[in-house]
Amino acid sequence: MVVLGLVAVHSIARAVQWHITHDLCKYAVCSMPCEVKPRFVVLYGSQKGQAQSIAEGVAEEAEEHGLTAELCCLKQNERYNLEKERAPVVFIVSTTGDGEPPDNALQFVRRIKKKTLPTDHYTHLCYALLALGDTNYANFCNCGKTIESRLQELGAKQFYAAGYADDGVGLEVVVDPWLEGLWKAIKAALSKMASDRADYSTGEAGDSSKDAPDSSVPDVQLSLLSITDQQNCKSANSSVETVSTFSSADSSSVSASTTQTAVTDPGPASPLGNDRLASQFHDAASVSTSKPGTQTTDAGVPLVALAASLIFSLPPLSDSSLNVPALPPPYLDVSLQEVDLMEQTDGLMIKDTLFEVPVSKAVQLTRGDSVKTALLLELDVSAYPMMTYQPGDSFDVFCPNRASEVEDMLHRLALHDKRNHQVNVSLRTDTKKKAAQVPPYIPQNISLLYLFTWCLEIRSVPKKAFLRALVEHTGDSVQRRRLQELCSKQGAADYNLYVRDQSLSVLELLAAFPSCSPPLSLLIEHLPKLQPRPYSAASSGLRHPGKLHFVFNVVEFPACSLRPAGKQGLCTGWLFDLISPALVFSGMDESSSTPDLPKIHVKLRPNCSFRPPPDLSVPFIMVGPGTGVAPFIGFLQQREQEKQEKPEATFGETWLFFGCRHRDRDFLFREELEGFVSSGTLSHLKVCFSRDDQEEEGRPKYVQDNLLINRQHVMEVLLQQKGYLFVCGDAENMAKDVNNTLIEMIKAELQVDQLDAMKTLAGLREEKRYLQDIWG
Ligand code: FAD
């Protein structure tokens, strides 16, 4: 709390007068001596929780800056009122799918996009915006950009330049400096608003423009809030701690802050408890700790690193003072109850909105010597009319964490003997976390084993806030210092190199830092929800009534120094293990009797725009290399059925651009595609092989090369015949390359420059005639 008595008298007078005369200013003012806490609003729209957790971080840090933050999700429109809001508003929003707003921001975006809103609708509003996105997707930060441009059209004033953070290179590259500058900007905005209002109320407001903050606000000198700077000097130490160099790292705060019950906290420096896990890191640790040098362990053993690694740093980082993030306030009480919940462990419990469907067929589409393994699964959805889908839809597959990793985690936390105990999670009554809540994805009455199997993404890459929290539960000072480095500003490059780029899981991290023994509550606070994995339907219900096909590559994480054995993707690896006993190869007798196939939990995710044109006469082009061909098999099966049902109808041309490595190894759906060509369902099939045909000059290697070769036709379909272009598959390279190629084609076709070509493509996207269904 900021004591108003410390403020310069002039500022007190202004602040109090402002408050009395303008009831819309909601500063908390008590009777003298007063406490003032300037207020601002944080609104977030978040699909996977990243924007939400950044927004929560802002709200939590506010107090340390002498401010009060009101935190709301954009969908909670009963909790905020932008039509009347006079305090600064900070928007933090992500983008999902094909540039769509996250589900919880959808209504808000619709509301502000209403054409009936007057252009002065938000002239009173003063805002800053942080957008999260991924440049691997074409509509980078589209939700943030949409909100930003619409707010501006409606007269709102920006008090701090918008940040556009790119998950493709690491959100923190933009997020960290943006957050660092935010506080000064909010205070400047508040100060400017306060002085404008005070001037207005004392009759100095001859100029109406003073009513609204202008975009130069961040440059305004602080006056009203100069008091908070004193406060901030103190609080800055807690919000961004400065940790001095290695020698000063001690473990006092470990014992001070490990206040969990014996059940939830195995205590600092517990033994690793799992030899298999420990052995993965044994070599790295022994290299780092066997050579004497500049650092010393708690046991007095001097250390020097031969090379930096996850667990060891080199100068200048190892000698540097560190700025580490504020310690996230704990907010959950977790206890384990000795109720045996053994029967729970097998299946997913939240079944109301999900369907448990049998796998009825499993086919390997690629040859054994193919680099990637592509599988087709057929699901029997006939028992569930709610699973009726259209080509272009996708659906979620709910997969558990790997049993061996769950076991490792339980051992690592020294909780293995309590695996069937009931987990009770409640809010700490004394928590300082804003808007704290028990994670809604953790059901009541679950066992510990269930929690780690179905609720938490135990493979998630630990965020810096988590690393910061782990420091408090790490006994060894070398390890503490390294964790501090990894979450510090100075250690950002090491974090990217050893944590983010390696997709390092929490379990792998804990194995590398054996003296770290976090309580269960900390894992529940920091591990995200285990997300289902979406897959595109690769069939049409018209062709396969009651059946749903999908296709996927088994994701392989290559071996690296931290993970000598490599690993498979969570869901694709799980599916592969599940169906391997019944797997048949493409072309073999797929109807032959197969052993009992398992059931899996799925949920439909309808997609309203990624659909074949409703007008059958409109031509369309499909670009889908590799497993990206999946939805187009559904499109073509549907088209073939429609052709049979409506022989008199006019059908537009269809084009498919497919690509893979080798004609003989991974040409997915070859026979079916050639069949579509023979039946006239597919007018043009353009295929290329990136690793074959190398000797022949000029051969197209990638789908975009084939697009260029067929430039004239593609442009005619898109620009003259008002046709559609669909792209599906890899977001990282293919979708970007196709996008760039389309821009080049438009430039050449229309004889326009880059900017105009980009505008033309953006126009096609707006008209929903250039559509993407891509994943990274
Ligand atoms: P995870 O364990 O989740 O790991 C995947 C993550 O690891 C990704 O973030 C990826 O960037 C990263 N990664 C992948 N390979 C490596 C590597 N070698 N080294 C390091 N990191 C790596 N997939 C399909 O195959 N077919 C589809 O039809 C399909 N449709 C989709 C539709 C939609 C709308 C979306 C959003 C995605 C779709 N996906 C599809 C992707 C799919 O949902 C999964 O992401 C994918 O199958 C991997 O899941 P996983 O659990 O096996 O991998």
Do the bridges between strand 355-364 and strand 599-605 make them parallel or antiparallel, or are there none, so unpaired? antiparallel
Cα(237) to ligand 1 centroid in Å equals: 40
Mutate to test the pocket of ligand 1, among 498, 535, 610 (most ligand atoms within 8 A of CB): 535
Q: What is the pLDDT of residue 578?
A: 94
Per-residue pLDDT tens digits for 17-65: 333 223 333 333 333 344 568 999 999 999 888 899 899 889 988 888 9
Q: What is the pLDDT of residue 244?
A: 60
Q: How far apart are CA 249 and CA 480, in angstroms?
A: 7
Q: By alpha-carbon position, which residue is closest to atom 17 of ligand 1? A: 557
Q: By alpha-carbon position, which residue is closest to atom 9 of ligand 1? A: 776
Mutate to test the pocket of ligand 1, among 373, 561, 572, 605 (most ligand atoms within 8 A of CB): 572
Q: By alpha-carbon position, which residue is closest to atom 40 of ligand 1? A: 535
Q: Of the candidates 751, 742, 732, 733, which has an alpha carbon nearest to the alpha carbon of residue 771? A: 742
| pLDDT confidence band for 527 (50 / 70 / 90) | very high
Q: Is the pLDDT of residue 71 over 90?
A: yes
Sheet holding 446-447, edge to edge: 332-337, 422-427, 446-447
Q: By alpha-carbon position, which residue is closest to atom 14 of ligand 1? A: 555
Q: What is the pLDDT of residue 248?
A: 35
What does the DSSP assignment read for 21-56?
A: H-TT---B--SSSPB-B-EEEEEEE-SSSHHHHHHH
Given a contact cutoff of 8 angstroms between Cβ atoms, the answer to whether 658 and 690 are in contact is no
Q: What is the pLDDT of residue 750?
A: 96
3-state secondary structure (DSSP) of residue 218: helix
Cα(748) to ligand 1 centroid in Å equals: 35
Q: How many CA atoms lie within 13 A of 328 on its CB side?
A: 24
Q: How far apart are CA 259 and CA 417, in angstroms?
A: 22
Nearest atom in ligand 1 to the alpha carbon of residue 773 is 34
Nearest atom in ligand 1 to the alpha carbon of residue 374 is 25
Cα(570) to ligand 1 centroid in Å equals: 9
Higher pLDDT, 691 or 573: 573
Q: What is the pLDDT of residue 591?
A: 59
Q: Which of 231-235, 377-381, 503-507, 750-754 has the lowest mean pLDDT?
A: 231-235
For residue 536, give the DSSP letter: E
3-state secondary structure (DSSP) of residue 475: coil
Per-residue pLDDT tens digits for 227-241: 223 333 333 334 456
In Å, what is the CA distance from 316 to each residue of 177, 321, 485? 21, 10, 11
Note the Cα 762 to chain centre separation in Å: 24
Q: How far apart are CA 639 and CA 623, in angstroms?
A: 17
Instruction: Show the tokens assigned to 574.
Output: 């799980």
Per-residue pLDDT tens digits for 459-490: 999 999 999 999 999 999 999 999 999 999 89
Nearest atom in ligand 1 to the alpha carbon of residue 554 is 52
CB atoms within 10 A of CB 91: 25
Q: What is the value of pTM for the model shown?
A: 0.74
Cα(134) to ligand 1 centroid in Å equals: 15
Cα(499) to ligand 1 centroid in Å equals: 19
Q: What is the pLDDT of residue 306?
A: 65
- The predicted model gives 88-94 an average pLDDT of 97
Per-residue pLDDT tens digits for 171-193: 888 898 899 899 999 999 998 88
Nearest atom in ligand 1 to the alpha carbon of residue 571 is 51
Cα(387) to ligand 1 centroid in Å equals: 23
> Among 18-22, 294-298, 450-454, which range has the highest average pLDDT?
450-454
Q: Is the pLDDT of residue 270 over 50?
A: no
316 preceded by a cis bond (ω within 30 of 0): yes
Task: For the chain, give the mean pLDDT.
Answer: 81
Cα(679) to ligand 1 centroid in Å equals: 34
Cα(567) to ligand 1 centroid in Å equals: 13
CB atoms within 10 A of CB 401: 20
Q: Express as a percent the part of the chain with pLDDT over 70.
A: 77
Q: By alpha-carbon position, which residue is closest to atom 39 of ligand 1? A: 535
Mutate to test the pocket of ligand 1, among 533, 627, 669, 774 (most ligand atoms within 8 A of CB): 533
Given a contact cutoff of 8 angstroms between Cβ atoms, the answer to whether 406 and 616 are in contact is no
Cα(551) to ligand 1 centroid in Å equals: 12
Q: Is the pLDDT of residue 97 over 80?
A: no
Using CB distances shorter than 6 Å, the residues near ligand 1 are: 394, 503, 533-536, 550-553, 555-558, 569-573, 627, 630, 773, 775-776
Residues with Cβ within 8 Å of residue 465, at least 6 apart in sequence: 53, 57, 325, 328, 487, 526
Instruction: Show the tokens assigned to 623.
Output: 């670009």
Cα(555) to ligand 1 centroid in Å equals: 7
Longest distance between any two alpha carbons in the chain, whole Å: 89
Q: Label residue 752 exposed, middle or buried (CB < 10 Å: 0-12, 13-18, 19+).
A: middle
- The predicted model gives 556-566 an average pLDDT of 84
In Å, what is the CA distance from 588 to each residue of 358, 367, 552? 21, 12, 19
Q: Of the candidates 507, 395, 501, 397, which has an alpha carbon nearest to the alpha carbon of residue 452? A: 507
Q: How far apart are CA 8 and CA 224, in angstroms?
A: 8
Q: How far apart are CA 5 and CA 563, in angstroms?
A: 58
| pLDDT confidence band for 446 (50 / 70 / 90) | very high
